[in-house]
């Protein structure tokens, strides 16, 4: 059976369905609701029933006899309660924790610096473009191999996903001699130049495969092209403004390595 192409209207139906389920169980928990549990399941259900309305999908998800829904919604309800109880002004995610927002590993400045040097040493890259290359590297590695490369968190902002505390991290890279900023042409961002490029031995073989794949598929894009491209990703659409992006959304990226290719 041929499935209809996934388009923006479908994403709107997913968001409406998720909102209906959220409000059904926890009307006041929108800020901390783990929709990353619901949204992939709703998308899969829509593939089986491409013409279903949000109301119809909602009814199937909350109906006790629906196949598979008790387990899914039990996870959702438990995660919602945990997020609500642990909520703080910073969205309740300590940077030292290993969770769904840092890709299953603790953040490493050494690793994010090595990633920055990898891309800066392989062509012209400015601050904005580097941010997108880091995002795709972490998320592609997570969906391919189960962990991010750096443990970084990314925030949904107007221009696309942005590395948490990105400006501070870049300044630290400059001060510690990892990279330096080089003035570019008028109306262009300064380019990053590698001072000391780390050995690829800083990464596992699979992480190196991911970095080379991201470089081959995204580094040729212009800054404006990659920024616009990231804003059309489902990970961007399904995450509220100024909130952390769940790595579980990584499998929804528009472009991913072929399974047989990445394991060669």
pLDDT of 197 reads: 67
- Same-domain status, 62 and 136: no
Mean pLDDT of 249-260: 84
Which residue did the predictor score with more confidence, 131 or 92?
131
Q: 């609500």: which residue's tokens?
A: 84
For the residues 1-29, what does the mean pLDDT come to?
73
Residue 251 domain-assigned (yes or no): yes
pLDDT band at 152 (very low <50, low <70, confident <90, very high): very high
CA-nearest of 127, 120, 248 to 178 is 120
Tell me what pLDDT residue 71 has: 58
Q: What is the pLDDT of residue 149?
A: 97
Question: If you write DSSP's letter for every residue of 119-170 in order, what string do you get?
Answer: HHTTS--BHHHHHHHHHHHHHHHHHHHSS-SS---EEEETTEEEETTHHHHH
Q: Are 11 and 237 in contact (CB under 8 A)?
A: yes
Rounded Cα distance, 73 and 41, in Å: 10
Please name which of 89, 174, 88, 82 lies closest in space to residue 127, comparing C-alpha atoms. Answer: 174
60 and 140 share a domain? Answer: no
Backbone angles phi, psi at 161, to 5 degrees: -65, 135
**CA 122 vs CA 86, 97, 117, 212: distances in Å:** 42, 32, 9, 10
pLDDT tens-digit profile of 106-137? 999 999 999 999 998 888 889 999 999 999 99
**What's the domain count of the chain?**
2
Q: Does the pLDDT value for residue 104 go beyond 80?
A: yes
Residue 141, pLDDT above cutoff 60: yes
CB 197 within 8 A of CB 118: yes
190 pLDDT above the threshold of 90: no
116, 77: one domain: no
Residue 192, strand partner residues: 181
**All residues at 6 or more sequence positions from 262 whose CB lies less than 8 Å from its CB, including other chains:** 144, 209, 210, 213
The answer as to whether 25 is a domain residue is yes
Query: Whole-model pTM?
Result: 0.79
Q: Are residues 183 and 234 in the same domain?
A: yes
**In-domain check, residue 94:** no
Task: Tell me, yes or no, whether 160 and 221 share the same domain.
Answer: yes
Q: How confident is the model at residue 160 (pLDDT cuts 50, 70, 90)?
A: very high
Percentages of the chain per state (helix, strand, coil), in multiples of 5: 55, 5, 40
Percent of the chain with pLDDT over 90: 38
| 44 shares its domain with 155 | no
51/160 same-domain check: no
The CA distance from 36 to 39, in Å, is 6
- Whole-angstrom CA distances from 169 to 117, 196, 239 are 13, 16, 23
Burial of 11 (0-12, 13-18, 19+ CB in 10 A): middle
What is the arithmetic mean of pLDDT over 176-187? Answer: 75
Q: Is residue 15 scored above 80 in pLDDT?
A: yes
Lowest mean per-residue pLDDT among 36-40, 91-95, 101-105, 160-164: 91-95
The four Cα atoms 14, 15, 21, 23 give a dihedral, to 10 degrees, of -170
Predicted confidence at residue 112, as pLDDT, reads 94
Which range of residues forms the domain containing residue 242?
109-262
Residues 24 and 155 in one domain: no
Q: Are residues 72 and 185 in the same domain?
A: no
pLDDT above 50: residue 242: yes
**Same-domain status, 143 and 219:** yes
Question: Mean pLDDT lowest for which of 28-37, 128-137, 232-241?
Answer: 28-37
Residue 257 in domain: yes
Q: Is the domain of 155 the same as that of 241? A: yes
Q: Are residues 133 and 237 in the same domain?
A: yes
Residues for the chain: how many in total? 264
Percent of the chain residues past pLDDT 70, beyond the cut: 77
């Amino acid at each position: 059976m041929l499935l209809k192409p996934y388009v923006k209207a479908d994403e709107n139906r997913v968001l409406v369905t998720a909102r209906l389920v959220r409000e059904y169980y926890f009307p006041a928990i929108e800020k901390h609701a783990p929709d990353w549990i619901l949204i992939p399941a709703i998308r899969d259900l829509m593939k089986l029933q491409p013409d279903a309305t949000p109301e119809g999908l909602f009814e199937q998800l909350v109906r006790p006899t629906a196949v598979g829904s008790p387990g899914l919604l039990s996870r959702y309800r438990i995660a919602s309660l945990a997020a609500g109880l642990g909520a703080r002004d910073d969205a309740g995610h300590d940077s030292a924790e290993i969770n769904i927002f840092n890709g299953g590993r603790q953040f490493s400045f050494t690793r994010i610096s090595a990633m920055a040097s990898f891309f800066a040493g392989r062509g012209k890259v400015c601050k904005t473009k580097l941010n997108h290359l880091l995002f795709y590297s972490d998320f592609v590695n997570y969906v391919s191999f189960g962990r991010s490369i750096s443990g970084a968190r990314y925030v949904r902002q107007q221009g696309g996903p942005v590395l948490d505390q990105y400006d501070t991290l870049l300044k630290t890279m400059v001060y510690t001699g990892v990279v330096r900023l080089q003035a570019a042409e008028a109306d262009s961002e300064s380019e990053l130049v590698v001072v000391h490029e780390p050995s690829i031995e800083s990464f596992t073989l699979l992480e190196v495969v991911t970095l080379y794949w991201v470089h081959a598929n995204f580094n040729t894009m212009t800054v404006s092209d990659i920024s616009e491209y990231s804003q059309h990703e489902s990970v961007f659409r399904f995450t509220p403004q100024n909130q952390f992006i769940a790595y579980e959304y990584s499998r929804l990226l528009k472009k991913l390595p072929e399974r047989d290719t990445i394991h060669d």
